[in-house]
Each structure stands twice: as structure tokens, then as C-alpha cells.
Amino acid sequence: MTTTPSTVDKDDLFNSSTMTFGEHLEELRACLIRGAIGLLCGVVIGFFIAKPVIHIIESPLRKALGDYYTERAIEVFDAWTPRRVGGPTLPYSRKEIVDAVEQHNLSFDLREIHPHRLPGAKPDLSQQESFDTESLAPILLWQPLARDSRVSITTLSAQEAFGIYVKASFLVGLVLAGPWIIYQLWIFVAAGLYPHEKKVVHIFLPASTGLFAAGVLLAFFFVFDFVLTYLLAFNEWLGLDPDPRISEWLSFVLFLPVGFGLGFQLPLVMVFLDRLGIVEVKTFTSQWRMAFVVIFIAAAILTPADPYSMLLLATPLAALYFGGIGLCRWLNKSPAS
């Protein structure tokens, strides 16, 4: 039986396609090659700007370490007492200490010395042959907080710094080439979509990029402060001094923002499930309690093992879930659907 033009299904996905399966594979290969070339160009650019990027990545950890040791220093100052009644006291008031630490970004070490043992000091005839601890007087050794070795981020091998530079360059390249890579994938996928679905995807692509960027920015500029404060508090509770490595921190920096960026795709995932008929919008509405359980489980998987990052991801995801319900209803009422 010969198929006439009038009997051809106008909604056939490949109605207007003249490409064979092999040609589709060839197109996929071409798209992947163009995407890889774009990524390579981005990585090359990344090699020239990786250094300031690394400094930006370090900044939340350096700030958290500075705040941690600043609070520890003030606690040490408050807890110090003279060795004997009427003995030497601290040479600064608490107000001066707080002003120097918080307003001038200085750090200090509290030490004790024998003033009469310093060069040029008059000898104390009342000294005994044994070490005199009662005569120790407190002094504070000051330095800029940025030069405090405790705030520095270390490497433990000669090649680790180079590895960090390469990872940062790749990260920059992936960010720069991300829109180009998504565009190449869209070129390949677009041939298999209905015309009205292509219009929806034209809206979803920038929306997906925007949601991913919002999740990354939220993690980097807001969540890191809470998470680092929480994790460093465990060091203080256990009496341990943190000495972070840059490679471990970079892995943490990559993992948490990417988890937030992926989690923020929730409304778009809900819309696609609804459009494909897998899950209807009324199911999303009636099963919101179960959805919240799934959201919290997913937040625990996409974030490190601490409650702050989990809650800070699950809370916006809960709001985005209801936003996804509203988006599904709006698209179902849209004439384009």
C-alpha cells in the first residue's frame, strides 16, 4: 500500500526528516566534536585566569579560618588570669583587643616572659636558682591576620599546586564553554521534537542555565559561611586546630555548588515529567508530603554530611517544588501546549 501525502501523520516526529540512522550518529559525532573544541578553548583561556580564580575559591575558607582563630584568640584573652594575686596583668584592655582584631584585622599570640631577663633589664636580686614561674608577665605578639600561618591553606606535595592549577583551569573552561556545549546538544536533540516543544525548550534552556547559576551562587556566597562555621566548630569542640589542604577544599567547592545547581533543576524536571505524561500535576499536588521526604533525602545526598547544607538546599527546593506545580498548571492552560 502506497502512503499518500494526505495520510501522513502531521505530528510524526520524523515527518520532515530525511536523515538516516547513520546520519543521525554522524550529526551526534559532529556536535560532540564541536562541544569538545569549545571546551578546549575554554580550558586554554582558563590557564591564563586560573590564578585569580583560585584566590576567589580560597576566599571563603580563609575568611572562615580568620573568624575561627579570631574568636579563639578573644576567648584565650578572656580566660587568662594572673599567675598570682597582684601579679602582672595583660597590657591591653578587652576593648583594645576587640578593636585591633575586628577593625584592623590583626591576630595575636599570648605569650609570657620574665621581664627582668630581657637584655638591658636590671637583674632581680631576689631570683632563686629554680625557674620562677610566678614572675612570668604576659605579652601579646601581633601580626596581620593575612600573614598568620594558621589561616594559610597548605599543599603537601610539590606537584599538588600544579594539579590544583589544572583543575581550576578545567573548571573555568567548563563554565565558559557550558552554554556552547548545551547549544550543541540542543542542535542534535531539536530534530526529534514537535514544533510546540521546540518553543518550550527555547524557554527552558535559559531557565535551566539561570537556575543552575542561582544554585551555584547561593552555595558559594551564602551556604559556605554556614557550613564552614559548623564544621570548624567541631574542631573547636574536639580541641583540634584545622589545617586544610587546597586540593581537599577545591573538591568541596566543586561538589557543593554543583549539588545546589543540579537540585535547582527540580521545576524543569517536574514540567518534563508532566509533559511526557509520566507524572500528572495533580499527583505532584496530592503527594507533596512524600515529595518533601524525597527532597530531604536528595539534599542529604547532594551535600556534605552536615545538617546546615542539607537544610539550606532542602528549603529552597521545597519552594521550587511548589513553583514547579504552578509552572505545570500554567503550561497546561497555555494554548501552545
CA–CA distance, 275 with 273 (Å, rounded to integer): 6
Whether the Cβ atoms of residue 121 and residue 163 lie closer than 8 Å to each other: no
CA–CA distance, 142 with 107 (Å, rounded to integer): 6
CA-based nearest residue to 109, from 76, 153, 68: 76
Q: Which residues contact 144 (CB under 8 A, 6 or more apart)?
A: 105, 106, 107
CA–CA distance, 106 with 253 (Å, rounded to integer): 27
CA-based nearest residue to 34, from 180, 208, 227: 180
Rg of the chain's alpha carbons, rounded to an integer?
30
Q: What backbone phi and psi angles, to 5 degrees, belong to 5?
A: -55, -30
- Total Cβ atoms within 10 A of residue 228: 23
Instruction: Dig out the grid coordinates for 25 from the structure.
Output: 550518529
- Residue 101's alpha-carbon distances to 110, 140, 144, in angstroms, are 14, 12, 9
DSSP 175: H
CA-based nearest residue to 64, from 231, 239, 303: 231
DSSP H/E element including 322: helix 307-333
Q: What backbone phi and psi angles, to 5 degrees, belong to 12?
A: -60, 130
Encode 293-304 in three state secondary structure.
Answer: HHHHHHHHHHCC
Strand-pair category, 137-144 with 106-113: antiparallel
Q: Cα torsion at 269, 275, 280, 286 (round to 10°)?
A: 40
CA–CA distance, 127 with 116 (Å, rounded to integer): 10
DSSP H/E element including 141: strand 137-144
CA 157 to chain centre: 25
Instruction: Dig out the grid coordinates for 151 from the structure.
Output: 589561616
Q: At what angle do helices 195-218 and 266-275 cross, to 10 degrees?
A: 160
pLDDT tens digit sequence for 200-245: 667 777 887 888 888 888 888 888 877 787 778 888 788 777 877 7
CA-based nearest residue to 133, from 112, 147, 151, 117: 112
CA–CA distance, 57 with 220 (Å, rounded to integer): 9
Instruction: Dig out the grid coordinates for 326 from the structure.
Output: 504552578
pLDDT value at residue 107: 87
- The parts of the chain modelled with pLDDT lower than 70 are 1-21, 121-129, 189-201, 254, 304-306, 334-337
Q: Which residues contact 300 (CB under 8 A, 6 or more apart)?
A: 310
